[in-house]
Amino acid sequence: MVDLRIKIERGKVAYRQIEEAIVQAIREGNLKEGDRLPSETTLAEDLKLSRMTVNKAFTLLSQRGLITRVRGRGSFVTPRKLNQGFFRVTSFNRSIAEMGMVPSTEVLESRVEPASGEVAKALGIEKGAPVIFVKRLRVADGVPLMLETRYLNEAHCRPVLKEDLSTGSIHDILIKKLNLPLTRVKQTLEVKRASKKEAELLGVREGDCCFYMVRTTYTGETPMTWVHYVYRSDRYRFEADFNPMEDSLGE
């Protein structure tokens, strides 16, 4: 917990002074992402104010998305959220590096296995046909952000397993080394609760809400990859930038 110093001036609204003092501390870097704030009771006693006054300031900060209040644990400076475009495919490593953070990847599993019925349907192959299975944990500045489970059409993507999947982009491998251009993408996005295993890997609590994206990529009309992504909802937000006149049915 940080040592938060706030000076209350008479004649000014107290809760606004608390709010702005914390905002300034965040902007100046005196309060960093994940820092725990003093409890409302402690801060009220230090400032000789009512707890309700401090509570009002914390409520405003929470509404602005600057702090996160966790029942039974306290209030924390909210980590910066990463923008993930919904209508584009981006490299995790490049996007994280562009934000000034250090990306890393832990390859949890990689192998060739027979396709289940669900995987076979997604990739347009026979059940039991060989597929490449890769599970990776994507990390930024040592913080796990996203869990990726990927199935690849083994008949076309066999050389992928010879590559270093802890540093490279699988899409770059397909496009640049295997000459399998990305020509079509189909994906869905939902909010679900993290399973026990997902929570352990991502550093969240079991049952916390996460973004679940399922994506199929194609070369021509052939499905090449079927991927499940689990994103931490406290670290990601999705955005879309598109022309509303395109594909419009009109009125």
- CATH number, domain of 110, equals 3.40.1410.10
Domain membership of residue 7 (yes or no) is no
From the CB of residue 116, how many other CB atoms can be counted at a distance below 10 Å? 13
Identify whether residues 191 and 123 lie together within a single domain.
yes
Domain membership of residue 244 (yes or no) is no
**Helix ranges restricted to H, 64-108:** 92-98
pLDDT value for 216? 96
CA distances from 131 to 30, 61, 198 (A): 50, 48, 23
| Mean pLDDT to the nearest integer, 36-61 | 93
Identify whether residues 93 and 65 lie together within a single domain.
no
Domain membership of residue 8 (yes or no) is no
Identify whether residues 224 and 138 lie together within a single domain.
yes
Domain membership of residue 64 (yes or no) is yes
pLDDT in tens, 235-247: 888 877 766 665 5
Nearest C-alpha neighbor of 151 from the set 61, 43, 66, 225? 225
Q: What whole-number distance in Å separates Cα of residue 246 and Cα of residue 64?
A: 34
Give the CA-trace dihedral at 156, 135, 78, 72, to 10 degrees.
150
Beta strands in the chain (DSSP E): 67-70, 74-77, 82-85, 103-114, 130-140, 143-153, 184-193, 209-219, 222-232, 236-239
State the DSSP code for 137: E
Identify whether residues 211 and 98 lie together within a single domain.
yes
| Residue at a domain's end among 59, 77, 95 | 77
pLDDT in tens, 97-148: 877 778 999 999 999 999 999 999 999 999 999 999 999 999 988 889 999 9
Residue 170 sits in which domain range?
82-239
- Residue 1: pLDDT band with limits 50, 70, 90: low
Identify whether residues 208 and 234 lie together within a single domain.
yes
State the DSSP code for 177: I
Could you give the number of structural domains in the chain? Answer: 2
Identify whether residues 60 and 114 lie together within a single domain.
no
Identify whether residues 185 and 215 lie together within a single domain.
yes
Identify whether residues 46 and 97 lie together within a single domain.
no
- Residue 251: pLDDT band with limits 50, 70, 90: very low
pLDDT value for 250? 46
| Mean pLDDT to the nearest integer, 69-80 | 84
Domain membership of residue 6 (yes or no) is no
Task: Tell me if 194 sits within 8 A of 207, measured CB to CB.
Answer: yes
Identify whether residues 38 and 95 lie together within a single domain.
no
Identify whether residues 73 and 87 lie together within a single domain.
no
Identify whether residues 164 and 226 lie together within a single domain.
yes
Identify whether residues 86 and 57 lie together within a single domain.
no
